[in-house]
Amino acid sequence: MNSNFFQNENEKPLIIRASAGTGKTYRLSLEFINLLLKYRINFEEILVITFTKKATAEIRERIFQQLFEIVNNTSKGIELKQNIQQDINPEIKFNLEEMHFLKAAYQSMITNKSAVNISTIDSFVNTVFSGIIAPYNNITNFQIDNKINSEILPEIFESVLKEENLKNYENIFLQSKRRNLNQFKELILGIIENRWLFEFIDLTDFHDLDIEIEKEKAHNKYKTSVKEFLELLQTEIINNPKPASLEAYFQTDFKKTILSLINFNEINTDQISISLYDILTNCELLSNNSKLIFDKKKMLYLSGKLKSDELKSLYKDLQDSLANFFYYDKALNEQFNIISLAADVLRIYDEVKFRDKVFTHSDISYYTFRFLYDSKLSIIDKGNVLNIFYEQLSYNTRFVLIDEFQDTSILQWSIFYPVLKEITSGIGQKEYGRVIVVGDEKQAIYGWRGGERKLLTNFESILNEPVEHNTLSTSYRSKPVLMNWLNKLFKSEYLHFVNDWNYTEIDCDKAVGGFVQVDLRNSVEDDTKLNKADIYREFVQNNLLPNIRDKKIKSTDTAIIMRKNKELEIMAQVLNEFDIDFTLEMSGSLFQHKAVKPILFILKFLVYEDFWELIKFLRSDLVLMNPVDLQSLISEFQSSSSLEELLQTSKTHPYLSVLYNLKHQSGTLLFFVKTILEEFGFTKIFSSEVELKNLQRFMGVTAEFERSNHEYSSDTSGFLQFCSSLAEKDEYSQIGQSLSDSIKLLTIHKSKGLQFETVYTVFDVSSKIGG
């Protein structure tokens, strides 16, 4: 390798901000080609990290296609060369020597496609886990199953809920928000999914803390704040130039809460402070009615009648001092309890994981992070690479290109960091390298998976190195009307609440066209509120149908984008009502389809005799048993000596007699599943084309199990394990509806990177939105 190529060996890391449609994939693939030419490196020294398998396939295809065009000097190739020279590296001339090198590199890549390092983040982390963590823990084989955690919960519950542990966790279990099993399951799964956070909790300062003393100090401070506030409140009321009845100065909710404790008509204005002091220092009352004090929109008193700035300031002091008291009185104890519970849960969880060797992607990320930064292993010391595997990885990989960087989680970044730091430092196995990240904070839609946009916005300070910035500021996808609207939206004052929000306006490559319309429903001003289905009907009737009828939109180039699959299903039902053709791409697992889940509930109930699986079946879309009948059944179960007796004797619930007959029926699994479909009338309830296709697909899975299963027991229990193993596989996703010349229904995640002439977005902004 010629050292002349490394005169500026360590270029600054590069951040490319790229909004949707600005040519991000195009630019990344050109950066890849530029690195090959500029440094005359082997293509295996470049690692490209993407967030999804789809993005991986797209950039792989784009790199090969662009190299083909360039080395064959096609008209597109000539344009690509010009763009590399203009936008990336003017020093490249594409002379004979450079073209000869590029042709050789292309031929090598063609014959060694598997060696081209383009992978998802999950795949990269799996590589690190397999190379370091698995060997260290004597793991030679392991499985990935993202659904496995729900199956190991019973083992965790059994240990955590032992009698000797109940006293420690009584307060957590008895909290009103966690008094049913599902909510407790959510707590345990939340601890597991976010376990990396516990790594950053430092309790050093609390070990020597006398909580009772601190609580007493906070309580005294709060009582002083109450006294000062009430004295000024009393003075303001007495001196008010527009006197009113005493209760007219206070908020309605506050008056209702203290109605049994005080009568405003019996209080003189010069006794206000004394009369309200005992109420406002009754911490039990305030704890049960905390919204009275901490409501962001209103105070205890009517600020419209008492406009003193000093009074507002004293009220803020009162709120702060009460919050401080509750911190020592309530929050700290619960924090310690939850940390203690988490330690027990995670200890058991780790034992099960390393015993069974079945991990989720989150497990792989966490264990990789934990062991890499474990001082006992000395793999990473203050961010420096000390591990042989990491040294080898940094030696082989000298250039890293990361796509969709705003979706990288803190855990993933912690795993990336040592390699990136070694590459950018210029001190290592090879004295050249560069890191290029591409992202757009507006597209940070994977917050629910831990994506952290601040890794992009604060990249320079986090990496602690000078960084070069570049922005792709021309959209080749959107039309000017839409682009102008988006620019105004993202520059509006309504986004000022977001820290470090610096928006760069995006130009539009297209000269004319575009349309934007915003309709709001169920806003505060609306007199009548509609459910989702009715909102969608209103949208179809008032917007979609007229545009289709007047031929203002083309169905083949129109999409309706929504946040959740459930919302798409409701929209699909509404479109069916209006005889509008559509294509629905479902991203969920076949085994989560509403027509398939009831079958699995029945099978689990009959195999495991789990009463709660029966309840799930009776509350499914197939049965939808009303709450009164459901409560009646639960009461019958509690008074029955066994499930067998319940099925045999219950006369009020016809479904149970069918289940009793099924329980005592013999035959093949396929025959058994067919009987379930017939006896419970599945095809009458789930009668749409899409629903029937998914039921057919499930029957196919059943036949596949009977025909070719060699790994699981051949009974129904084995079949349930078989289904669980397939739940995360892409080839076992739900079947959607696909019609030519039809409107596309997509989730926001599925729509990323696609292009349509007309896009409708129907969002429920009243519910909690993540990401």
Report all structural domains of the chain as residue ranges with CATH numbers, in order of start: 10-123+364-472 (3.40.50.300), 147-359 (no CATH), 478-516 (no CATH), 532-585+739-761 (3.40.50.300), 590-732 (1.10.486.10)
pLDDT tens-digit profile of 349-387? Answer: 999 999 999 898 889 999 988 887 766 655 555 545 455
Instruction: Tell me what pLDDT residue 645 has.
Output: 75
Q: How far does Cα 69 stand from its chain's mean position?
A: 39
Could you give the CA distance from residue 602 to residue 754 in angstroms, rounded to a whole number? 40
Strands, DSSP E only, in 279-337?
none
Q: Which of 133-142, 389-398, 590-599 has the lowest mean pLDDT?
A: 389-398
Instruction: Tell me what pLDDT residue 402 has.
Output: 94
Phi, psi for 744 (deg, rounded to 5): -95, 130
Using CA atoms, how far residue 624 sits from 135, 163, 177, 592, 594, in Å, is 50, 37, 25, 17, 12
**Other Cβ atoms closer than 10 A to 113:** 9
CB 182 within 8 A of CB 616: no
What is the residue whose two structure tokens read 């063609």?
Answer: 110
User: Nearest 5°: CA angle at 91, between 13 and 435?
Assistant: 15
Strand 117-120 with 46-50, pairing: parallel
CB 681 within 8 A of CB 719: no
pLDDT tens-digit profile of 213-223? Answer: 888 999 999 99
Provide, rounded to the nearest whole percent, the portion of the chain with pLDDT above 90. 29
pLDDT tens-digit profile of 183-198? Answer: 677 888 889 988 888 8
Alpha helices in 174-271 (DSSP H): 181-193, 204-207, 211-238, 252-257
pLDDT tens-digit profile of 433-444? Answer: 899 999 888 877
Could you give the CA distance from residue 431 to residue 424 in angstroms, rounded to a whole number? 9
Instruction: Tell me what pLDDT residue 59 has.
Output: 94
> H or E element: which one contains 33?
helix 24-39
Instruction: Tell me what pLDDT residue 222 has.
Output: 92
Beta bridge partners of 745: 560, 584
Q: Say whether pLDDT at 427 is over 70.
A: no
pTM (2 d.p.): 0.70
Q: Say whether pLDDT at 546 is over 90.
A: yes
SS3 381: strand
SS (H, E, C) 568-580: HHHHHHHHHHCCC
| Token digits of residue 170 | 């009584």
- Under the banding of pLDDT at 50, 70 and 90, the label for residue 748 is confident
- Under the banding of pLDDT at 50, 70 and 90, the label for residue 769 is very low
Buried b (16+ CB within 10 A) or exposed e, 684-709: ebbeeebbebbbebbeebbeebeeee
Instruction: Tell me what pLDDT residue 587 has.
Output: 66
Instruction: Tell me what pLDDT residue 445 has.
Output: 56
